Chains A and B, each alone.
Chain A
Amino acid sequence: MALVLEQVSRTFNQVKAVSDVNLTIQAGEIVGLLGTSGCGKSTLLRAISGLDQHYTGSIVLNDHVITGIHDTIGFIFQEPRLLPWLDVKANITFGLKGAPADEIERALRFIDYVGLTGKEALYPRQLSGGMAQRVAIARALVTSPETLLLDEPFSALDAFTKMQLQDLLLRIWQKYQTTMVLVTHDIDEALYLCDRIIILKGQPGTVVDDIKIKQQRPRDRGSVELAQYKTDILAKLEINNG
């Protein structure tokens, strides 16, 4: 039960975007892919998701090489990507294929879970950024994915909404033990959420470090330990001595 990347590289028009990534992610782990903009984080995540299949190397999920989009993988994009013509409830059930009654029941459960009760009939245009991203989270969860891929899911939100949704993500993890691969450029976010932080750097992007965060969750955002990790990571990214 693991997600394994072996020698994954991706080239766009003769230019390499990521190079020889090897990575093993255990079931139930929250792993952050951290790096500066343009180092290939999204590219890597899209390869894992199956949306992009033009990479080299192999990606293995539960001992099966992934060759396309996988039922047990959910994706949360940077933008909510809601369908503007569907209301909240219909957006959440978008990926369900069961009987309508079951669908509605399931959707209602998740609407409650992400804190959108009473907003079922609103259209995306009537939602704030945070609410829209909650809908996107519920939409991804409703199909019970074993693995959740998140591409900078909170980067467009204000600091407070961001923290709320990070906590929501942790609650989800506690309840379902979903494996999560979280792409982010926010060190604090990675430190608050992840069991492991993979640091990508350069163009083409390569893995430069793999840091285990041993602190128990829930973590204190202001703790000295996390601050120490942050200094280390900044040094690794060579941002401070630039």
Chain B
Amino acid sequence: MAKVSNQVSSSYFSRKEHWESSRWHPRRYGRIWLGCLLPALIVVFWEFASRQGLVEAYQLPAPTVILTKLIELTQSGELAGHIYITVYRVFAGFLLGSVVAIILAVLVGFWRKAEYIFDPIIQAFRSIPSLAWVPLFILWMGIGESSKITMISVGVFFPVYLNLVSGILTVDRKLIEVGKMYKLSFLQQVWRIVLPASLPSFLIGLRSGLGLGWMFVVAAELMGASQGLGYLLVLGQNTLSPETILVSIVLFAIIGKLSDWVLKLLEARLLRWQDRFVRGG
């Protein structure tokens, strides 16, 4: 009896091993393979549903229609301009917001008086939903670039600031003592211990700041713009062209993901030393 079951399991294993060494095994192409499965199915089903007239084309055009629109916009040269201006706005807002956040966070993190001065007001402003500023900024700065970039930087500011401050304030006291034993000056301690130690949390702040930057650029461009991916959304709505809206949405997804990926690469490079939880399987 035992022998039989033994044989069964061994043949099971040999088949399993064969599968494991095959080039289609999830372990080799695994993540991409598994990750593409659902989107591919959805797209196929969507195309099918559109062609069969199960959904109305003026509400949800077929993937091929969207693709055609994308190609059309690319060839007319329009799209590059929209993408450029949107990326420019996000980048400028991200830079501005991060720089202000870093300066304030370093002040607050290292100097208790600065914390007493700045932190209450920053916390108070934080409770205002940032989008509520939009009308005011437009009133102050018009609908030009400066109001949009300011808006985006407000969105970027908070996550960067909050994460960096908490990173600085939670540096392990034990490591600071090591610095003290070697008589590091205050600036050396900041540079050689506190900043590297708060880098992980700073990078988390940057990444969520960038995510908010993309959210805010949409808001800013919806409010009033004559160019940009957000403007395409408005245009699509006004010209009853859902494919334009969907082109814009897809591009937001792709570019947003790409920019996050750049930060992720930077993070992986800078945090090579980190001991991180790795999921099995």
Give A contacts to B, CB under 8 Å.
Answer: 49, 51, 69, 71, 73-75, 77, 79, 81, 83-87, 94-95, 123-125, 143
Contact = CB atoms under 8 A, between A and B. Distances in A.
Contacts of A95: 181-182
Nearest to B174: A81
What does DSSP make chain A's interface, helix, strand, loop or mixed?
A: loop
8 A-B pairs with least C-beta separation: A125-B275, A95-B182, A123-B273, A85-B273, A85-B196, A75-B181, A81-B178, A81-B174
Given A51-B177, A125-B273, A85 B182 contact: no
A83 B275 contact: no
A81 B197 CA distance: 13
Contacts of A124: 273, 275
A69 B180 contact: yes
B180 to A, nearest CB: 6
Contacts of B197: 85
Contacts of B182: 94-95, 143
B67 to A, nearest CB: 46
What does DSSP make chain B's interface, helix, strand, loop or mixed?
A: helix
Contacts of B263: none
Interface of B: 174-175, 177-178, 180-183, 192-193, 196-197, 199, 272-275
A85 B167 CA distance: 15
Nearest to A126: B275
12 contacts: A51-B180, A69-B181, A74-B181, A81-B175, A85-B197, A85-B199, A94-B182, A95-B182, A123-B273, A124-B273, A125-B274, A143-B182
B6 to A, nearest CB: 39
A4 to B, nearest CB: 21
Contacts of B180: 51, 69
B196 A49 contact: no
A121 to B, nearest CB: 11
B5 to A, nearest CB: 41
Given A51-B180, A75-B181, 7 more contacts: A51-B177, A83-B196, A84-B273, A85-B197, A85-B199, A124-B273, A125-B273
Contact of A123 (B175, B177, B272): B272
Contacts of B183: 69, 71
Contacts of A125: 273-275
B199 A94 contact: no
B181 A51 contact: yes
| Chain A CB within 10 Å, residue with most, of B175, B178, B199, B274 | B178
B266 to A, nearest CB: 15
A78 B274 CA distance: 22
| Chain A CB within 10 Å, residue with most, of B177, B197, B272 | B177
A74 B196 CA distance: 24
A143 B181 CA distance: 11
B275 A84 contact: yes
Given A125-B273, A125-B275, A83 B175 contact: yes
A83 B193 contact: yes
B174 A77 contact: yes
Contacts of B275: 84, 124-125
Nearest to B193: A83
A143 to B, nearest CB: 7
A100 B92 CA distance: 39
A83 B180 CA distance: 13
B202 to A, nearest CB: 13
Contacts of B273: 84-87, 123-125
A96 to B, nearest CB: 9
Nearest to B183: A69
Nearest to B172: A81
A183 to B, nearest CB: 15
A172 to B, nearest CB: 18
A79 B174 contact: yes
B64 to A, nearest CB: 49
Contacts of B181: 49, 51, 69, 73-75, 95
B105 to A, nearest CB: 19
Nearest to A97: B182
Contacts of A51: 177, 180-181
